[in-house]
Chain A
Amino acid sequence: MSDGTAPVLELRDVRCAFGDHEVLRGVSLAVRRHEVVALIGASGSGKSTLLRTVNLLEHIDDGQILLAGADISDPRVDGDRVRARIGTVFQAYNLFPHLSVLDNVTLAARLVHKVPRPTAEARALDLLSTIGLGSKAKAFPDTLSGGQQQRVAIVRAVVTEPELLLLDEITSALDPELVGEVLDLVRRLKDDGATILMATHEMAFAREVADRVVFLDAGSICEEGPARRVLATPSEPRTREFLARVLP
């Protein structure tokens, strides 16, 4: 069903409500291959919810979500298979505390993608080494710094080469001096051609790395466009207001 020209991800008029609180009010959005899109917006504007609906961790109440051209909001779709094609990293590092770094990184490859253990571990060690964490492969998460944990979580998400990477405020639980090393890794992923949709509060980083910025306001897209343009000269008053508050 997927043809080469379809966007990796497409949302068509997606709606999502908790009770009678409408959190997403008709969001339409496309992310093309190798594109990095930054979701910005105030706390509670629906960024995390949007990412969770893409991951099928949240049911949508209307609209359509397409992954590589195929409708994944169809209830007949197997959510586990969809999630296996998408890499996700959350705000708080959700490494598994009872598994070593290496086992954390290879768990999904071995269980879900049926990669033989030696192959999975070789690839994982490779990736860990490129970000300077090769020596920590046998360590357990609670002996790592926050930044190291978050980088391991990112490696865990990309080791299976997902078609799409969802990042939800991956630096907001980190001390400022640890933010840099995590963002460096994201930069590197972009250079390697990853397709990324990320919610972020780091405006400077969004301007530098994102191709496009989407400003979400109370569950609808208020403004979107090239990162530099939207962040430097926003055309909507609400965007200007928001940026005035978050930019020093």
Chain B
Amino acid sequence: MTPEVHAPSGLELDRRAYRRRQTARSVLVSLGSTVVFAAVLVLALRSSPGWARVQESFLDPVVAWESLPRVLDGLLLNLRVLFVAALGVLVLGLLLATLRTLRGPVFFPLRALAAGYTDLFRGTPLIIVLYVVGFGVPGLELFGRMDAAFWGTVALVLTYSAYVAEVFRAGIEAVHPSQRLAARSLGLTHGQTMRRVVLPQAVRKVTPALMNDFVAMQKDVGLISVLGAVDAVRAAQIEVAHHYDFTPYVVAGLLFVAMALPVIRVTDWYTARLRAREQMGSLV
């Protein structure tokens, strides 16, 4: 019952066949070059004089298998901290960015505070923030006893919200001023304009950058181990001491990569999609 389906011309069929052949060829070429490259790399490593020793102390399958459960347990803590910290970073970062866009003399102290904050925490190494927050702040005895993971989360939020605030601010500034003008002419207040018109566009613009920061934070959660929290890194450390073998570190490293991969892939996909939308209708 379908209305006449257009039958492709012989010319078009030729073109399609040609494109298919080209695709098959390029897949083969890339496959071949990957195999050759990997083979060269493996051969070079294996022929190095210390290979046997390194293989034994870093790549021992038995140790890897035995240490896996503990390291995985630790990784669960990393995941929990990451989740809470990411939420905290988003909220605080957005708040800081919004504060910096406020106009008028009344808001000068808030603006200055937000600017000072981002300068301070973007400049300080995360490890220093971790030490100060993890060992210094509890000494004030203002709060009840909190565990190391809690203070680690706080330190991560403090540092990363400073970066994320700058990303948001760049996004806000990238929204064309005429958008703000159009919204205000409709009678929207400054706040409504920010919430309904500027921020939604800003967030879309900076999502790839934000996801990149998220990946960076994903591996930096491993640093909470310096406060004594038993996360994947600390668990690996304990296993290393136990087996007199460095393999658990490699296990932890691989687990961190595995944790980051999905986000990295999603970021790539999203960025590509944005680019595709912006270049709609062009093949180059």
Chain A residues with CB under 8 Å of chain B are 55, 57, 80-81, 83-86, 88, 90, 92, 94-98, 107-108, 111-113, 156-157, 160
Cα distance A112–B197 in the bound complex, in angstroms: 14
State the total of A-B contacts with C-beta under 8 angstroms.
Answer: 56
List B residues 156-209 near A (Cβ within 8 Å).
Answer: 178-179, 181-189, 192, 196-197, 200-201, 204
B168 to chain A minimum Cβ distance, whole angstroms, is 16
**Is A84 a contact of B178 with CB atoms below 8 Å?**
no
Cα distance A142–B192 in the bound complex, in angstroms: 23
**Is B186 a contact of A108 with CB atoms below 8 Å?**
yes
Cα distance A83–B189 in the bound complex, in angstroms: 10
If A94-B178, A97-B201, A98-B204 touch, does A88 touch B185 (CB 8 Å cutoff)? yes
**Is A112 a contact of B188 with CB atoms below 8 Å?**
yes
Chain B residues with CB under 8 Å of chain A are 178-179, 181-189, 192, 196-197, 200-201, 204
B196 CB contacts on chain A under 8 angstroms: 107, 111
**Is B182 a contact of A96 with CB atoms below 8 Å?**
yes
**Is B201 a contact of A57 with CB atoms below 8 Å?**
no
**Is B188 a contact of A57 with CB atoms below 8 Å?**
no
**Is B181 a contact of A80 with CB atoms below 8 Å?**
no
A80 CB contacts on chain B under 8 angstroms: 184, 187-189
**Is B181 a contact of A83 with CB atoms below 8 Å?**
no
**Is A107 a contact of B186 with CB atoms below 8 Å?**
yes
Cβ contact of A57, chosen from B184, B192, B197, B200, cutoff 8 A: B184
B120 to chain A minimum Cβ distance, whole angstroms, is 33
Cα distance A66–B188 in the bound complex, in angstroms: 21
A15 to chain B minimum Cβ distance, whole angstroms, is 22
**Is A55 a contact of B201 with CB atoms below 8 Å?**
no
Beta-carbon nearest neighbor of A159 in chain B: B186
Cα distance A81–B204 in the bound complex, in angstroms: 30
Beta-carbon nearest neighbor of B185 in chain A: A88
A156 CB contacts on chain B under 8 angstroms: 186
Cβ contact of B179, chosen from A81, A84, A96, cutoff 8 A: A96
Beta-carbon nearest neighbor of A143 in chain B: B280
B192 CB contacts on chain A under 8 angstroms: 111-112
Beta-carbon nearest neighbor of A88 in chain B: B185
Name 5 extra pairs, CB < 8 A, besides A94-B179, A112-B186.
Answer: A90-B185, A94-B178, A98-B201, A111-B196, A112-B188
Beta-carbon nearest neighbor of A51 in chain B: B185
Beta-carbon nearest neighbor of B202 in chain A: A98
B200 CB contacts on chain A under 8 angstroms: 98
B183 to chain A minimum Cβ distance, whole angstroms, is 7
B5 to chain A minimum Cβ distance, whole angstroms, is 26
If A98-B204, A156-B186 touch, does A90 touch B181 (CB 8 Å cutoff)? yes
Cα distance A83–B184 in the bound complex, in angstroms: 7
The 7 closest A-B pairs by CB, nearest first: A84-B187, A94-B182, A108-B186, A88-B185, A112-B187, A83-B187, A98-B200
Query: Most chain-A Cβ atoms within 10 A of its Cβ — which of B187, B192, B196?
Result: B187
Cβ contact of B183, chosen from A55, A86, A96, A157, cutoff 8 A: A96
Cα distance A111–B192 in the bound complex, in angstroms: 8
**Is B181 a contact of A94 with CB atoms below 8 Å?**
yes
A92 CB contacts on chain B under 8 angstroms: 178
Cα distance A206–B187 in the bound complex, in angstroms: 28
Cα distance A57–B178 in the bound complex, in angstroms: 12
Cα distance A72–B191 in the bound complex, in angstroms: 22
**Is B185 a contact of A111 with CB atoms below 8 Å?**
no
**Is A84 a contact of B186 with CB atoms below 8 Å?**
yes
Cα distance A94–B200 in the bound complex, in angstroms: 16
**Is A108 a contact of B182 with CB atoms below 8 Å?**
no
A160 CB contacts on chain B under 8 angstroms: 187
Cα distance A57–B188 in the bound complex, in angstroms: 13
A88 CB contacts on chain B under 8 angstroms: 182, 185-186
A173 to chain B minimum Cβ distance, whole angstroms, is 12
B188 CB contacts on chain A under 8 angstroms: 80, 107-108, 111-112
B188 to chain A minimum Cβ distance, whole angstroms, is 6
